[in-house]
């Protein structure tokens, strides 16, 4: 009888105490009651080499967790104490230790987005990466201008100008200059699918020549629907051995460019001066997007040999020099009228 009473007492104690023990063990995983609400997103940097306790202390300092010791204990119970990943994290709501640890273990870091516009030159890209990601522009350019590095990326050129594919990229904190270059060139190879590469061969061009032509088209065109028409002018000039006379190639060699061009700029001694030299320049003058690359590969079927801007981003296209000169005179008159109106 006495033994039965003891067993009953033990059973009652187990029924009462066991849930309390389980609950006390579970609280560190799910509880958020010991931390304030987050009114604005908190961005926190976890550096490489930080210990688990250092991470916990920093989280507690930012009021993201209530108790560093419980956080450490929770991480050890979950078996991920040594696998939390460095990086910038964004916390925009109260979360349990379990949720925060999952985030740090999965590496759900805050990525930095960088947009490389179509036509941007390599030097400008290096400057943009320096400002946006705190990278060394000189190191970027060292990779860009390294012939051996170019060959290692399957680029048959001595320079990566033209092959740094313009797009919006998301990079992690700590990304290196080399990793960014690899990402951009890899995207170039993805965009240049097999059909486009076959088209290069069909036109009897090299890929380098097509990318060079595409970069000039990119520099000329503002209105998308004109790309293939502008391309046709350059293809026609190449076939008839007429100098391209492409202003963007002059902009590329003007020391303080890009800027409005004058006659003196057309006399600059350079292989990129397509007013003085027949054919394509030695290489791309910027990094074209896929639309300009396709335009270079698929020009419109026209007899146009000339085009001139008409002031709104579009151009007037002509087959003869007389028509071209007439279009230029008309545009110059518009310019003069605009200047007169501005002075009134």
Which among 296, 98, 88 has a CA at the least distance from the CA of 211? 296
- Is 223 in contact with 313 (CB distance < 8 Å)? yes
What pLDDT does 11 receive? 58
Residue 98 has pLDDT above 80, yes or no: yes
Q: What is the rounded CA–CA span in Å between residue 306 and residue 83? A: 63
User: Per CATH, is 112-191 categorized as 3.30.1490?
Assistant: yes
Q: What is the rounded CA–CA span in Å between residue 191 and residue 149? A: 20
Residue 217 has pLDDT above 70, yes or no: yes
For 244-272, write each residue's pLDDT tens digit.
Answer: 999 999 999 987 766 678 888 889 999 99
What CATH code is assigned to 26-106?
3.30.1490.480
Mean pLDDT across 48-68: 88
- Is 66 in contact with 35 (CB distance < 8 Å)? yes
Which residue's structure tokens are 């926190």? 44
Check residues 284 and 337 and name the one with the higher pLDDT: 284
Q: What is the rounded CA–CA span in Å between residue 63 and residue 67? A: 9
Tell me if 26-106 shares its fold with 112-191: yes
For 150-207, write each residue's pLDDT tens digit.
Answer: 999 999 999 999 999 999 998 887 789 999 999 999 999 999 999 999 999 999 999 9
Domain segments of the chain: what residues? Answer: 26-106, 112-191, 194-304
Phi-psi region of 111 (alpha: psi -120 to 50; beta: other; left: phi over 0): beta
């Amino acid at each position: 009888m006495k033994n039965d009473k003891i067993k009953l007492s033990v059973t009652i104690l187990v029924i009462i105490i066991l849930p309390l023990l389980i609950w006390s063990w579970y609280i560190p995983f799910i509880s958020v009651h010991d931390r304030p609400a987050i009114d604005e997103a908190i961005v926190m940097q976890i550096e490489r080499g930080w210990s688990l306790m250092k991470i916990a202390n920093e989280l507690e300092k930012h009021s993201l967790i209530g108790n560093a010791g419980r956080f450490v204990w929770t991480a050890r119970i979950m078996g991920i104490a040594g696998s939390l990943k460095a990086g910038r994290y964004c916390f925009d709501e109260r979360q349990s230790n379990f949720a925060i640890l999952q985030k740090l273990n999965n590496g759900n870091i805050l990525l930095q987005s960088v947009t490389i516009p179509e036509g941007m030159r390599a030097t400008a890209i290096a400057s943009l990466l320096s400002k946006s990601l705190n990278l060394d522009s000189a190191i970027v350019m060292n990779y860009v201008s390294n012939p051996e590095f170019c060959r290692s990326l399957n680029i048959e050129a001595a320079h990566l100008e033209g092959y740094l594919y313009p797009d919006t990229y998301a990079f992690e904190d700590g990304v290196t200059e080399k990793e960014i270059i690899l990402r951009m060139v890899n995207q170039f190879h993805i965009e240049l699918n097999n059909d486009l590469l076959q088209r290069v061969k069909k036109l009897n061009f090299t890929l380098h020549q097509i990318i060079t032509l595409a970069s000039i088209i990119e520099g000329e065109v503002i209105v998308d629907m004109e790309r293939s028409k502008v391309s046709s002018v350059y293809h026609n000039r190449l076939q008839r051995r007429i100098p391209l006379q492409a202003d963007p190639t002059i902009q590329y060699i003007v020391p303080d460019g890009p800027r409005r061009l004058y006659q003196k700029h057309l006399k600059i001694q350079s292989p990129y001066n397509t007013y003085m030299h027949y054919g394509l320049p030695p290489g791309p003058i910027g990094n074209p997007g896929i639309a300009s690359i396709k335009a270079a590969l698929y020009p419109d079927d026209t007899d146009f040999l000339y085009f001139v801007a008409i002031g709104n981003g579009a151009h007037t296209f002509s087959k003869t020099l007389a028509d071209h000169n007439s279009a230029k005179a008309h545009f110059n008159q518009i310019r003069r009228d605009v200047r007169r109106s501005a002075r009134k």
